[in-house]
């Protein structure tokens, strides 16, 4: 027993701790556990520190990127798909609206094989330019357009090709339900849906482009723009001038229907025209809105202004007489009458026989300065103020001489637009007020607030009488429409070709007003270089422009709210003059 204890006493302390039992052994084990727990906490703290460092690095990078300029190559600018307001006619019929369409783009950095991608795309888009597209796909950019405004079928077919690195973006494009019918009035937008002509351009100039640039052009906030156009009448006008152009083999034709009380353009068309939904030929030189952007010598329609000027001056009355028995010779020029009577003519006879000599003598009675002042007063020689951007500035000689006044008296020597001629004639029918034309709706009260008195009531009374008389006994007979009391004046002007007046190329016009007892509308039609309808027939304004005006009135008068009245269909003059 003693020897065994002695042996235990000689063992090392660390062995004693492992082999001993009881209270002393428990103390040793607990100390070991405490040492192990301290190391574990250290590892947890280190792990947390690593994760904190990683997240801090990510957060710092995000903050840095937030202060950098965005990479615009990653996608198109938002203004590309900016909304536009609908354009509607006076009855709410849609003339222009936005529709959604898909546009094809590519991310060149993700394109694996540019050649293969182009070959596949060409099966759906055969018109695609290989070289240009190849350079785009090899550019390494983040984003490039490949084709804008695809059809739904093209989009579907391209999706089935399964080409990596290409996609579609929904954009807005303009759709014109009326097509060619109102193309020159409504106008066009470009590929980015921005107005470039017609009322589309006018709308942009009124602040829409600024809204688009600021991202505030939101579809639901844009109210429709209502025009003064009546789509029903617009269709009739376009149909009649297109038919007339073909029938009379003219190089162009046009017409306008103008409300004489408000200045509203109810319809206006010019052919040749274009389809705004596919305007591939819109820039052709013969695609011109001849009614507002074409300048012409308006021929004998100007005799309306000459006679009105003479009456309004007080120097000429309806009983005045002018000797038209002999031509007028001035300088190297000789003024003849087309169908001269060879005698003294009264003012009504000068008008209904369309006497150049008589008109020249009316102008002489007023004088050169008075003649020029009167035409400017009626706005005939001023640039017209209206919403449509395509408006030409009239031309006139810098210095008016006696020969200028004589030739201008029958519509030669100055050039103006057909629309301005219609506006000037409206002032001779509506009580003597010049009202600038508008393509937006306008009440009569609003019109009178901007109207300018240009001729007296007495002059208006005389001109209404002469218009009615000319339709009964003069050159306006072909424009008569039963029940609608039409009056008017023809104009057949020789065109200037290579600096000289041509004997076989005319610019014809007819200006009509109805109903003559209280005119509500002016209809002015033109035919550029018309040919005889049949061999042996003439090609004067009475035989083409006058006929077109009659057809327009016959088909549209009821839509314009003019009720027919057959009580005067006995051949008597509809308007008296005291």
For the chain, what percent of residues have pLDDT higher than 90? Answer: 65
User: Which residue of the set 83, 197, 300, 556 is catalytic?
Assistant: 300
Give Rg (Cα) of the chain: 41
pTM, entire model: 0.80
- What does the pLDDT average to over 555-561? 96
Q: List the single range of 35-49, 129-143, 487-501 with lowest mean pLDDT.
A: 35-49
Domain assignment present for 113:
yes
CB atoms within 10 A of CB 25: 14
DSSP state of 68: S
One domain for residues 321 and 461: yes
CB atoms within 10 A of CB 559: 14
Give the domain CATH number at 161. Answer: 3.90.1310.10
Domain assignment present for 66:
no
Domain assignment present for 348:
yes
Q: How confident is the model at residue 4 (pLDDT cuts 50, 70, 90)?
A: very low
One domain for residues 282 and 426: yes
One domain for residues 255 and 218: no
One domain for residues 457 and 387: yes
Give the helix, strand, coil percentages of the chain, each rounded to 5: 40, 20, 40
Give the domain CATH number at 401. Answer: 3.40.710.10
Write the pLDDT tens digit of every residue in 326-349. Answer: 999 987 788 888 878 889 999 999
Domain assignment present for 16:
no
**End residue of a domain, out of 187, 209, 226:** 226
One domain for residues 186 and 314: no
Phi, psi of 57 (to 5 degrees): -65, -45
pLDDT score of 573: 53
State both tokens at 495: 């065109």
Which stretch of DSSP H or E encloses residue 533?
none
Phi, psi of 179 (to 5 degrees): 60, -130
One domain for residues 449 and 501: yes
Domain assignment present for 560:
yes
Measured between alpha carbons, how far is 322 from 344 in angstroms, rounded to an integer? 5
The beta strands (E) that lie in 336-450 are given as 344-346, 433-434
**End residue of a domain, out of 226, 259, 294:** 226
One domain for residues 152 and 282: no
Measured between alpha carbons, how far is 354 from 367 in angstroms, rounded to an integer? 20
Q: Is 300 a catalytic residue?
A: yes
**End residue of a domain, out of 226, 250, 285:** 226
> Which range marks the domain in which residue 213 is found?
87-226
State both tokens at 11: 């063992």
Contact 548, 287 (CB under 8 A): no
One domain for residues 328 and 351: yes
One domain for residues 388 and 515: yes
Paired residues of 103 in beta bridges: 169
Write the pLDDT tens digit of every residue in 512-553. Answer: 999 999 999 999 999 999 999 888 788 899 999 999 999 999
Domain assignment present for 174:
yes
Name the domain count of the chain: 2
pLDDT score of 27: 45
pLDDT score of 578: 62
Q: Quick one: how far is CA 9 from the chain centroid?
A: 116
One domain for residues 466 and 317: yes
Measured between alpha carbons, how far is 502 from 495 in angstroms, rounded to an integer? 6
Domain assignment present for 82:
no
Domain assignment present for 406:
yes
One domain for residues 566 and 427: yes
One domain for residues 215 and 320: no
């Amino acid at each position: 027993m003693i020897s065994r204890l002695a042996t235990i006493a000689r063992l090392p302390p660390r062995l004693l701790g492992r082999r001993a039992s009881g209270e002393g052994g428990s103390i040793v084990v607990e100390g070991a556990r405490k040492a192990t727990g301290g190391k574990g906490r250290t590892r947890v703290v280190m792990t947390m520190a690593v994760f904190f460092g990683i997240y801090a690095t990510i957060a710092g990078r995000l903050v840095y990127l937030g202060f950098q300029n965005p990479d615009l190559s990653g996608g198109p600018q938002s203004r590309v798909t900016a909304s536009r307001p609908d354009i509607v006619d006076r009855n709410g019929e849609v003339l222009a609206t936005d529709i959604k369409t898909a546009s094809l783009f590519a991310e060149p950095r993700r394109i694996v094989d540019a050649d293969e991608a182009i070959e596949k795309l060409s099966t759906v888009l055969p018109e695609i330019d290989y070289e240009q597209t190849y350079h785009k796909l090899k550019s390494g950019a983040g984003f490039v357009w490949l084709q804008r405004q695809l059809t739904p079928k093209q989009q579907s077919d391209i999706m089935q090709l399964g080409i990596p690195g290409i996609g579609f973006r929904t954009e807005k494009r303009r759709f014109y339900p009326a097509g060619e019918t109102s193309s020159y009035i409504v106008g066009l937008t470009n590929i980015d849906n921005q107005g470039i002509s017609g009322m589309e351009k006018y709308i942009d100039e009124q602040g829409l482009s600024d809204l688009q640039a600021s991202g505030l052009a939101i579809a639901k906030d844009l109210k429709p723009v209502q025009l003064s156009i009546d789509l029903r009448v617009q269709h009739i006008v376009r149909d009649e001038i297109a038919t007339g152009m073909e029938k009379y083999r003219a190089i162009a034709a046009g017409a306008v229907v103008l409300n004489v009380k408000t200045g509203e353009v109810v319809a206006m068309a010019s052919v040749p025209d274009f389809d705004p939904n596919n305007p591939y030929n819109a820039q052709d030189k013969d695609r011109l809105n001849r009614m507002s952007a074409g300048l012409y010598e308006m021929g004998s329609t100007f005799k309306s202004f000459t006679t009105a000027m003479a009456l309004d001056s007080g120097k000429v009355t309806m009983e005045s007489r002018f000797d038209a028995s002999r031509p007028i010779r001035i300088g190297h020029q000789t003024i003849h009458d087309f169908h001269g009577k060879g005698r003294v003519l009264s003012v009504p006879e000068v008008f209904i026989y369309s006497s150049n000599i008589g008109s020249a003598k009316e102008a002489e009675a007023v004088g050169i300065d008075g003649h020029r002042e009167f035409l400017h007063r009626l706005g005939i020689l001023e640039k017209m103020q209206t919403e449509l951007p395509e408006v030409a500035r009239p031309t006139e000689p810098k210095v008016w001489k006696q020969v200028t006044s004589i030739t201008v008296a029958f519509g030669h020597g100055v050039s103006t637009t057909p629309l301005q001629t219609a506006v000037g004639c409206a002032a001779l029918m509506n009580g003597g007020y010049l009202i600038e034309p508008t393509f937006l709706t306008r009440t009569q009260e609003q019109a009178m607030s901007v109207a300018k008195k240009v001729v007296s009531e007495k002059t208006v009374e005389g001109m209404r009488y002469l218009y009615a008389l000319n339709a009964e006994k003069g050159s306006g007979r072909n424009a008569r429409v039963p029940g609608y009391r039409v009056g008017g004046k023809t104009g057949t002007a020789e065109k200037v070709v290579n600096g000289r007046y041509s004997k076989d190329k005319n610019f014809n016009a007819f200006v009509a007003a109805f109903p003559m007892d209280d005119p509500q509308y002016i209809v002015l039609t033109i035919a550029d270089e018309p040919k005889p309808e049949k061999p042996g027939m003439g090609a004067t304004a009475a035989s083409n422009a006058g006929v077109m005006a009659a057809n327009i009135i016959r088909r549209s008068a009821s839509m314009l709210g003019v009720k027919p009245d057959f009580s005067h269909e006995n051949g008597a003059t509809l308007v008296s003059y005291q």
